[in-house]
């Protein structure tokens, strides 16, 4: 737009006529207004003076405010606002919550009878209302089932696999019951899309290799049912590996067992994330020596901060860094402070996070609360609504916004994506599913006169004690059902 300036004649500035002194005493000087186009001589400073002024103002403001794209500056000491801005754009994904276990032991998995409304404030640690307050963007739900103390051997009967299937079922059902808040996800990309749509991505993790019955075939079926990580052991050894609890009780740390190596191979082929929380320290090292994809610790701490066997030693942290995995900091107070667990606070969790980041890097630390599983949590982290307080305290301790993004969700999403990509690469080579079994496995013997496919099978079956006849349904010699006939 042309400039509006006082009139000048066509003459040069030095030739502009001035009113006489006599005229000045008798009348107001005459003035007129003309329009003059801006000349190229206005210069760079004139053309961009407003831009330069704005940039200079921002520079001067720099020590006092952070500039967020598309947002107003924020005081760097306003940790609550910085946390809010991070969690509005990066999903906070918790690696471990045991709410499905509470549904089992309190409701016997009956969620439609009106006794519980997860959208309202409940007792305990978890409900959707408080998850929203805590700005949770994604949750790995643990489909945990206890170790069966009656199962001392691989072949001992147990209902653990059945119970695990029921836990997957109730988890999928309560997710489906709240479509406005929760979205089931089985890929990392789905978790990102759910967050962008305003829903909490909901994933499934199995907390213990005992829950697949020591069977690699069961691992495949659990993957097909939607589980995306399996904790290799819980508080008991299984056919795959040694548990922390065994070593804590004075038992030997035998690490990963023969079938465990095969299980890791198959989980990597499938894209099932390997979770090393609860395993012994030697098991951690053994798995990391053969893993073909990043591992996770879904809820563990730093052993150098608190020497509890459930925590991760520094040498393992360094190996996790090379592996590209992640240690998700736990909130269980007895893992935070062994001597006086009741005095555990949010500050202890910060200490564990900072140590993991110092040794392993900010690319391999995450959040794994164990809410609704552990009965005891630290002061200041009483439930899922308190997550932002943790991030605010970390910012106060000097952690950057970008590091908070990694901690909150970017790291676990990267690990998950890399696990998926590695599985596709392995499958592209034509690698077949693992068929290895437990060494002491007992198989059904069949019938002596089964329609055997191969030579020698009948003889081997007879030698193994195969039955002479199929089930006869108590039919007697006259061709009638007769309960008195015992040869069934």
The position carrying tokens 């704005």 is 54
CA dihedral 24, 27, 29, 33 (to 10 degrees): 180
User: Crossing angle for the helix pair 314-323 and 281-290, nearest 10 degrees?
Assistant: 20
Q: Which of 234, 281, 352, 355 is catalytic?
A: 234
Determine the angle formed by the axes of helices 79-89 and 387-396, rounding to 10 degrees: 120
Choose among 409, 335, 319, 316: nearest CA to 95.
Answer: 409
At 400, phi and psi to the nearest 5? Answer: -85, 165
Catalytic: 210?
Answer: no
Active site residue 51: no
Are 368 and 205 within 8 A, CB to CB?
no
In terms of DSSP bridges, do strands 227-231 and 200-206 run parallel, antiparallel, or are they unpaired? parallel
Structure tokens belonging to residue 91: 């999903």
Q: Pick the catalytic residue: 94, 125, 127, 207?
A: 207
d(CA 214, CA 442): 13
Q: Give yes or no: 15 in active site.
A: no
Any catalytic annotation for residue 299?
A: yes
For the CA atoms of the chain, what is the radius of gyration? 34
CA 174 to chain centre: 19
Per the annotation, the verdict on 234 as an active-site residue is yes
Catalytic residue among 125, 278, 308, 355: 278
DSSP single-letter state for residue 433 = P
- How many angstroms separate the CA atoms of 145 and 207, rounded? 8
98 is catalytic: yes
What is the DSSP track for 203-224? EEEE--GGGGTT-HHHHHHHHH
Catalytic residue among 125, 281, 299, 355: 299
Is residue 355 annotated as part of the catalytic site, yes or no? no
Catalytic hit among 94, 237, 286, 370: 370
- Comparing CA positions, the residue from 342, 330, 335, 351 lying closest to residue 379 is 342
Half-sphere exposure of 67 (CA within 13 A, CB side): 10
Count how many Cα atoms sit within 13 Å of the Cα of residue 278 in the half-sphere of its side chain: 23
List the catalytic residues.
96, 98, 207, 234, 278, 299, 370
């Amino acid at each position: 737009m042309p400039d509006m300036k006082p009139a000048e004649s066509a003459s040069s500035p030095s030739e502009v006529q001035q009113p006489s002194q006599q005229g000045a005493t008798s009348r107001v000087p005459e003035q007129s207004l003309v329009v003059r186009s801006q000349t190229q001589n206005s210069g760079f400073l004139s053309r961009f003076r407003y831009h330069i002024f704005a940039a200079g103002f921002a520079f001067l403001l720099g020590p006092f405010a952070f500039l967020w794209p598309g947002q107003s500056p924020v005081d760097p000491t306003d940790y609550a606002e910085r946390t809010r801005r991070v969690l509005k754009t990066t999903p906070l994904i918790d690696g471990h919550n045991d709410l499905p276990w509470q549904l089992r032991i309190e409701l016997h998995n009956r969620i439609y009878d009106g006794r519980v409304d997860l959208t309202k404030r409940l007792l305990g640690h978890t409900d959707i209302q408080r998850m929203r307050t805590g700005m949770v963007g994604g949750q790995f739900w643990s489909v945990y089932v206890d170790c069966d103390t009656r199962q001392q051997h691989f072949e001992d009967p147990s209902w653990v696999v059945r119970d695990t299937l029921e836990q997957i079922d109730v988890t999928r059902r309560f997710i489906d019951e709240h479509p406005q808040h929760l979205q089931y996800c089985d890929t990392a990309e789905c978790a990102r899309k759910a967050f962008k749509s305003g829903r909490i991505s909901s994933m499934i993790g199995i907390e213990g290799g005992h829950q697949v019955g020591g069977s690699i075939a069961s691992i495949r079926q659990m993957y097909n049912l939607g589980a995306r990580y399996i904790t290799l052991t819980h508080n008991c050894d299984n056919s795959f590996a040694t548990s922390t609890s065994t070593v804590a009780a004075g038992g030997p740390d035998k690490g990963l067992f023969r079938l465990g190596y095969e299980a890791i191979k198959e989980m990597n082929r499938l894209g099932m994330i390997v979770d090393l929380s609860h395993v012994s320290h030697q098991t951690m090292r053994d798995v990391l020596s053969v893993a073909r994809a990043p591992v996770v610790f879904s809820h563990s701490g730093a052993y150098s901060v608190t020497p509890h066997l459930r925590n991760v030693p520094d040498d393992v942290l360094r190996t996790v860094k090379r592996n590209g995995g992640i240690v998700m900091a736990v909130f269980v107070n007895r893992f935070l402070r062994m001597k006086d667990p009741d005095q555990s606070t949010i500050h202890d969790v910060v200490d564990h996070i900072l140590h993991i980041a110092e040794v392993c890097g900010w690319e391999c630390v995450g959040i794994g609360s164990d809410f609704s599983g552990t009965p005891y949590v630290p002061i200041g982290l009483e439930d899922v609504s308190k997550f932002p307080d943790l991030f605010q305290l970390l910012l106060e301790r000097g952690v950057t916004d970008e590091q908070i993004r990694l901690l909150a969700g970017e790291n676990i999403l990267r690990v998950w994506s890399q696990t998926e990509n590695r599985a596709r690469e392995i499958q592209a080579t034509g690698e077949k599913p693992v068929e290895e079994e437990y060494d002491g496995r007992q198989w059904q013997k069949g019938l002596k006169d089964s329609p055997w496919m191969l030579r020698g099978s009948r003889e081997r079956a007879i030698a193994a004690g195969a039955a002479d006849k199929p089930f006869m349904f108590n039919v007697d010699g006259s061709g009638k059902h007769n309960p008195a006939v015992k040869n069934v």
